[in-house]
């Protein structure tokens, strides 16, 4: 488990033509590597490589397309010495990424989408596994945004995931939990989870939070363009760092790291 004094920055590297937040600007190997090098120069802690868009309503892509997009990028970044996380729900892609050096598997379904994922993680005990709260495919996930007590239900569903993974041989030390901001949640659900992030932390695992440039921030500050949600993202990073989350998953790196350093200095 990568332990750290401060909150880590996981930089998003979407190798997709249609990610909502960066407009697919980093599609293609060369563009992805160039962007990753920028992030490394800015001091990113982890690079999260993803080939499949998860925006609300997104259709799935084939595993062949996903593999062709992400594996060469993961391989190159690992050769450069970066700590690489693979953002996938497919065990086959996660396995291929581990084989070329990825050390973190970021599964937005927390192992639910692919029954082979738990065994893969159990078979690789040095790999960290991010278990995000998820209620089904992006295509129709917003129809599942129904809760009576969102924090309690997300806690319960994450705990069920942990129990199932541990049952299948995964070491609890491998696990990181993520409330899945924006996944089968409306704006108020997202805010309620962020206000109560300590209740997710109380489950006893490191916590990752991903709010970067998401729509609910745009709704609050009146920013239709994802790029204009950067300051709102930074405010949440600052607060999450103060609350001691393990990592934030963000598109920009330097502003987030600066904010985290400030929090660290203020609370030492
Ligand atoms: N959000 C997105 C993709 N992957 N992974 C984790 N663990 N947590 C998140 O909140 C998360 C994720 C969607 O955002 P993007 O399309 O900007 O990458």
- The predicted structure's pLDDT at residue 140: 79
Domain residue spans of the chain: 8-266
Tell me, yes or no, if the pTM score tops 0.75.
yes
What is the percentage of the chain residues whose pLDDT exceeds 70?
94
- The predicted structure's pLDDT at residue 100: 98
- The predicted structure's pLDDT at residue 21: 55
Query: Is the pLDDT confidence value at 217 over 70?
Result: yes
Task: Establish whether residue 87 lines the binding site of ligand 1, counting it when its CB lies within 6 angstroms of any ligand atom.
Answer: yes
User: Stretch 82-101: mean pLDDT, rounded?
Assistant: 98
More confident residue, 170 or 22: 170
User: Stretch 139-153: mean pLDDT, rounded?
Assistant: 89
Nearest CA to ligand 1 atom 11: 210
- The predicted structure's pLDDT at residue 53: 82
User: Stretch 20-27: mean pLDDT, rounded?
Assistant: 53
- The predicted structure's pLDDT at residue 165: 98
Distance 178 CA to ligand 1 centre (A): 10
Helical packing angle, 230-242 and 254-266, nearest 10°: 30
- The predicted structure's pLDDT at residue 19: 47
User: Stretch 89-100: mean pLDDT, rounded?
Assistant: 98
Which of 54, 177, 212 gets mutated to test ligand 1 (max ligand atoms within 8 A of its CB)? Answer: 54
- The predicted structure's pLDDT at residue 110: 97
Averaged pLDDT of the chain: 93
Q: How confident is the model at residue 1 (pLDDT cuts 50, 70, 90)?
A: very low
- Residue 261 annotated as catalytic: no
- Residue 243 annotated as catalytic: no
For 8-266, the fitting CATH number among 3.40.50.2300, 3.20.20.20, 3.40.50.10480, 3.30.465.10 is 3.20.20.20
- The predicted structure's pLDDT at residue 28: 83
Nearest-angstrom CA–CA distance, 150 and 193: 7
Query: Is the pLDDT confidence value at 180 over 60?
Result: yes
- The predicted structure's pLDDT at residue 4: 62
Q: How confident is the model at residue 3 (pLDDT cuts 50, 70, 90)?
A: very low
- The predicted structure's pLDDT at residue 126: 98
Distance 53 CA to ligand 1 centre (A): 9
User: Stretch 97-103: mean pLDDT, rounded?
Assistant: 98
User: Stretch 23-32: mean pLDDT, rounded?
Assistant: 70
């Amino acid at each position: 488990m990568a332990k750290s004094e401060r909150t880590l920055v996981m930089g998003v590297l979407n190798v997709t033509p249609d990610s909502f937040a960066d407009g697919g600007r980093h599609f293609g190997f060369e563009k992805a590597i160039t962007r990753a090098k920028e992030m490394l120069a800015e001091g990113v802690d982890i690079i999260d490589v993803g080939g499949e868009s998860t925006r609300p309503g997104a259709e799935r892509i084939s595993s062949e397309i996903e593999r062709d997009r992400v594996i060469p990028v993961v391989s190159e970044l690992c050769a450069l010495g970066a700590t690489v996380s693979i953002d996938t729900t497919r065990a086959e892609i996660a396995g291929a990424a581990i084989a070329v050096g990825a050390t973190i598997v970021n599964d937005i379904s927390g192992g639910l989408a692919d029954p082979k994922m738990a065994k893969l993680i159990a078979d690789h005990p040095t790999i960290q596994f991010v278990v995000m709260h998820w209620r089904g495919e992006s295509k129709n996930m917003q129809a599942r945004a129904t809760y009576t007590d969102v924090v309690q239900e997300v806690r319960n569903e994450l705990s069920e995931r942990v129990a199932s993974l541990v049952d299948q041989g995964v070491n609890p030390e491998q696990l990181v939990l993520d409330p899945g901001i924006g996944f089968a949640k409306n704006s108020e659900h997202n805010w309620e989870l962020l206000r109560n992030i300590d209740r997710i932390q109380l489950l006893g695992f490191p916590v990752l939070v991903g709010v970067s440039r998401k729509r609910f921030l745009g709704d609050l500050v009146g920013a239709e363009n994802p790029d204009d949600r950067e300051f709102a993202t930074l405010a949440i990073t600052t607060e999450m760092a103060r609350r001691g989350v393990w990592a934030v998953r963000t598109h920009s790196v330097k502003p987030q790291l600066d904010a985290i350093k400030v929090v660290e200095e203020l609370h030492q």
